[in-house]
Amino acid sequence: MPRPLSPQGLIRAALAAGLLWAAAAPADPALERGRYLAAAGGCVSCHTEDREGAAPYAGGRALTTPFGIFYSPNITPDRKTGIGGWTAQQFVAALHEGRNPAGRAYFPAFPYPAYAGMTAGDARAIYAYLMSLAPVDRPNRPHALPWYLDTRLAARGWQWLFFRPAPFTPDASRDAVWNRGAYLVRHLGHCGECHTPRNALGALRTGQEMAGNPAGPEDRKVPNITPDERDGIGDWSLSDIGMFLEIGMLPNGDFAGAGMGQVIDDNTSQLTAEDRHAIAVYLKALPPQAKPR
């Protein structure tokens, strides 16, 4: 039996409609490209608080890591609390160099080591899309870190040790589909941030790309997605991977949860079937690896 909405219900519905409108596909093709790339970059998952009705891209999500709790910042174009005062160049520098407009280093909880390989054109398209959103006034919450990390100098030191930014260069010995998959997996999609194990200082062990992470974010074990027969996804076909990335179903009929469900909702289900296929092709071509023990 449908009930008439209470005044509060109406307000909530109107707000929800407003938020949906703010996140809906823009008509301008340049903005549409930015929207698509932002989805492929998974920006909204981390930059939105984890509660019902949270404003997309307004930040506040807690990311629990072995190093402390990071709270994502507001990336709506609000001038006071968001990135409304940033130039496109400053935005690209954040993604490519891991620096905020004041020149201070970001902690690698923000996956700029992956985004550094993004083309400048793609980064600018994402900037244009974010700038087209409705500004949301939501002040950033400081990270909860132990004292020895609670300074941007720690992030600077980390960069000095581990951050070697380089643009994505296509591998001429591979076809266009593999290269597109490599770009999506390594850079935009930053899959390795969760699926590649890290060393004691939190840098990715790139020699074990996608071999799984026994100590992933939110204290979760992240599975091995190399084509290893025993530990990885060696028995998944390309269409199994495509299906998983589209609707979240594993080949045995189980459904992903534990973080990946959200990645599928916000990111991979939004991609074209061609891009999902490219991701599958890239993953199946990785060297099979045993999971780190």
Partner 1 sequence: MRRITSSVAISLLAMASVAQAATPEDTIKYRKAVMETMAGHIAGISMIFGGKIEAQEYLLSHAEALAAAGDEVGKLFPAGSGTGKTEALPLIWQEGDGFRKAAETAKTSTAALRDAIKGGDKAAIGKALKSVGDSCKGCHDRYRHKD
Give the nearer residue to partner 1 in terms of CB position, either 98 or 232: 232
Q: How far is the CB of 258 from partner 1 (least distance, A)?
A: 5
Q: How far is the CB of 247 from partner 1 (least distance, A)?
A: 4
Secondary structure (DSSP) of 174-206: S-HHHHHHHIIIIIIS-THHHHS-B-TTS-B-G
Residue 264 CA to its chain's centroid (Å):
11
Over the range 94-120, which residues count as b (16 or more CB within 10 Å of their CB) and which as e?
Answer: bbbbbbbeeeebbbbbbbbbbbbbbee
Given candidates 153, 201, 258, 273, which one binds partner 1 under the rule CB under 8 A? 258
What are 235's two structure tokens? 């028995």
Cβ within 8 Å of residue 86, ≥6 positions away: 94, 101, 127
Choose the stretch contacting partner 1; rule: CB under 8 A; options: 5-13, 23-31, 190-198, 259-267.
259-267
Q: How far is the CB of 264 from partner 1 (least distance, A)?
A: 7
Give the nearer residue to partner 1 in terms of CB position, either 46 or 128: 46
Secondary structure (DSSP) of 28-66: SHHHHHHHHHHHHTTHHHHSB-SSTTPPTTSB--EEEET
Given candidates 159, 262, 267, 270, which one binds partner 1 under the rule CB under 8 A? 262
Contact 209, 61 (CB under 8 A): no
d(C-alpha 49, C-alpha 201), whole Å: 27
Is residue 278 a contact residue for partner 1 (CB under 8 A)? no
Contact 246, 267 (CB under 8 A): no
Given candidates 153, 261, 274, 287, which one binds partner 1 under the rule CB under 8 A? 261
Q: How far is the CB of 244 from partner 1 (least distance, A)?
A: 10
Q: How far is the CB of 249 from partner 1 (least distance, A)?
A: 6
Is residue 286 a contact residue for partner 1 (CB under 8 A)? no
Is residue 24 a contact residue for partner 1 (CB under 8 A)? no
Site for partner 1 in 217-256 (CB under 8 A): 220-221, 239, 243, 247-249, 251-256
- Give contact residues for partner 1 (rule: CB under 8 A): 220-221, 239, 243, 247-249, 251-262, 264-265
